[in-house]
A and B are shown apart, each in its own frame.
Chain A
């Protein structure tokens, strides 16, 4: 008997939590983008697990689209990081406080 789906779901939830903690606490915009990738991967793992358990290929199709969106998101995100670095010489998100009330 194979490993139950629950184990993979718990692993994905823990991975999501680690990524969320990184997004909330790290200061560098680059690391925050990497942590967003961790969270997206956790969701992908959940989708694949559901897909296997329900014998439904739709879960894998959605993971495929999530990967496309993740690639687009990283491209734009890193473009913004480079543009901000040109103006501010820093990638720390704390220093972007112009809109602070």
Chain B
């Protein structure tokens, strides 16, 4: 940690993010109980929300809490409760020999390559788009205003397409989860 070179609050916020995100993420992939995995996922999502606020994405941080922690994780928990908690982990069974070792090597190579590539290109490079005219990203209400302007002008078509996507997802989920029963049979019980 390079002390002194950077403002202390921003370093503290970053360290908080790192702790929340990494503890939660490691929890998701290591704990046995799926309920605990879902709770670890909430920890990671909170950490990402803190990182969003620290990088002046206030609206997205709020959406992150509302949509992810409030809806998606609750959906996960609902399905876990519906199916019953399954704590079998099959640690001893490894159908593909050396799967974990290969996965670890592949992930390390991928992440290492990614970081090397970004470092070689001075981390951030690329041209600005025209949507914001190069103004700095505002926080608070200004952030909502900028994001709303971008979504409802430049990205209007994509925004409308998400409406169709959500409808399709809802109809698909209802069809998948519906209990099939014979229409012709007389019995009304399940």
Contact = CB atoms under 8 A, between A and B. Distances in A.
Given A6-B119, A20-B110, A11 B75 contact: no
Secondary structure at the B interface, as helix, strand, loop or mixed, is helix
Secondary structure at the A interface, as helix, strand, loop or mixed, is helix
Interface string B105-149: 011101100110011000110101101101111000001001101
Contacts, number: 248
A32 B12 CA distance: 32
Contacts of B76: 30, 33-34, 74, 78
Interface residues of A, number: 74
Contacts of B103: 20-21, 24-25
Nearest to A94: B95
Interface residues of B, number: 93
B79 A81 contact: yes
Contacts of B99: 24-25
Contacts of B83: 30, 81-82, 85, 91
A95 to B, nearest CB: 10
**Nearest 6 A/B pairs, CB to CB:** A79-B176, A22-B29, A72-B169, A24-B103, A17-B111, A79-B173
Interface of A: 1-11, 13-22, 24-28, 30-31, 33-35, 37-38, 41, 44-45, 48-58, 60-61, 63-65, 67-76, 78-83, 85-86, 90-92, 94
